[in-house]
Amino acid sequence: MADRMGELSCFGLTLGTALLLGPLVLWGLRRWRLFDVPNERSSHAALVARGGGLAPALAVVCGAVLSTQLVGDARVGVLLGAVGMALIGLTDDVRGLQALTRLLGQVVVAAGALVFLEQDIRGSLAWVAVFSVGALVWVVSYVNAFNFMDGINGISVAQVVVAGGAWWLIGRTQGVPTLETGGLLVVAAGLGFAPFNVGRARMFLGDVGSYLFGGWLGAMAVVGLRAHLRPEAVLGPLALYGADTATTLLHRLRRHQVVMRAHREHAYQRLVQAGWSHGETSLFCAAVMAACSGLAALSLTGSLAARIAGDTGAVAVLVAYLGTPAVVVRRSAPAQGAS
C-alpha cells in the first residue's frame, strides 16, 4: 500500500510540476523569440513557441528522482537516456546542430544509458553483443522517429499517454515495478503538457521535448525487454510511430529523395492534407495506438493461439492505418469535384 501511495504521489508531483512550469516556459520562449517557423514539413501556418518540452522534461525528472519504484540501474539508465537526449534537443532548439553532430550525440547518449540498462542481461557473449547493438539502434531510431512524428497538435501527447498507460498496466499485472512506474510518470508528464498543445497549440515540444520523450520511451522499452516480457507487448504501444516513420523513409528512398529533407509525407500528415483536423487525426492515431497495445498484450496470456491472433491483428491495424490516407483522398475527390 505504501508503494502505491508513493507511486501516486510521484504521479501527482510530476503532473503538477508540468502544469505549473508550462506557463513559465511559454513566457520564456516568447520572450526569447524561440518560435517554430513553418516549413515544408509543417502542418501549421502560424508561428508557435518551440521548446515547450522543457516543462514536462523537468517534471518527469523530479518524479523519477523521488520515486521509490523506479530505482537502481534502471532509473540511472532511463534518466541518462532521456535527459541526455533532451539536452541535445535543447541545444538544437536554441543554436541549431548539424545532422551528423546530432546523430553522434544521440549514439553517445544511448550507449551511456545502455551501460546501466543492460546490467541484468544474461547469456552468451554473442547474444549480449547482438542485444546491445540492437538496443542501441533501437533507442537512436525511436528518438528520431518520435521527432519526425511530432508534427501536429496532440499526436505526441497521445503517444506518450497511450504507451505510458499500457506499460503501467503491463508492469502492474506482470510484476515489473520499474516499467509500471516509468509508464505512470511519463503519462503524468504528457498530461501536464496537454493543455498547451492539444486543440489550439500555444507551444510545441520542440526537439528538447521530442528527444526527451523519445529517449524515455525508448529506454523504458529496453527495461521491459530485460524483464523478459514478450517483445510485442513492450513494443506494441510504440508501433504506430515506428511503422509510419519506416514506411515513409522507405518510400522516399525508393524515389531517390533526400531522406533528411523536410517533408509532409507521413500518413498522419496526409490525413491532415486530406481535410482532417489536427484533433481528429490525433484521436484516430490514439485509437490505433491503443488497439495495437491491446492486441500485442495478448502475447502475455501464455496462449500461442492468442499471441498469434494478437500479433496478426496488430499488423492488420497498422496496415489499415497506413492505407487510410489514400482511402480518405479517394472519397473526398468526388465531393471536391462536385463542389
Q: What is the pLDDT of residues 223-244, one digit of tens each?
A: 999 999 999 999 999 999 999 9
Q: In what order do the strands lie in the sheet with 35-36?
A: 35-36, 48-50, 203-204
**Mean pLDDT value of segment 72-81:** 96
For the chain, give every domain's residue range.
Answer: 2-235
**Mean pLDDT value of segment 308-336:** 91
What residues pair up with 203 in beta bridges, in sequence order? 49
pLDDT at 333: 65
Averaged confidence pLDDT in the chain: 93
Using a CB cutoff of 8 Å and minimum separation of 24, what contacts does 136-141 make?
A: 136/107, 136/110, 136/111, 138/218, 138/221, 138/222, 139/81, 139/110, 139/113, 139/114, 139/215, 139/218, 139/219, 139/222, 140/103, 140/106, 140/107, 140/110, 141/242
Most confident of 35-39, 119-123, 243-247, 335-339: 243-247
**Residue 188 and residue 287: Cα distance in Å, rounded?**
19
pLDDT at 273: 94
> pLDDT confidence of 41, banded at 50, 70, 90?
low
Instruction: Say yes or no to pLDDT of 337 above 60.
Output: no
> DSSP assignment, residue 237?
G
pLDDT at 293: 98
Q: 3-class SS at 260?
A: coil
Between 39 and 275, where is the model more confident? 275
Instruction: Say yes or no to pLDDT of 109 above 70.
Output: yes
Cβ–Cβ < 8 Å for 35, 50: yes
pLDDT at 46: 80
> pLDDT confidence of 334, banded at 50, 70, 90?
low
pLDDT at 335: 54
Q: Is 97 left (phi over 0), alpha (psi -120 to 50) or beta?
A: beta
Instruction: Say yes or no to pLDDT of 190 above 60.
Output: yes
What residues pair up with 50 in beta bridges, in sequence order? 204
> pLDDT confidence of 24, banded at 50, 70, 90?
very high
Instruction: Say yes or no to pLDDT of 261 above 90.
Output: no
pLDDT at 40: 65
> DSSP assignment, residue 52?
T
Question: Scanning the structure block, which residue is given the C-alpha cell 501516486?
Answer: 8
**Mean pLDDT value of segment 164-186:** 97
pLDDT at 204: 96
**Residue 165 and residue 184: Cα distance in Å, rounded?**
6
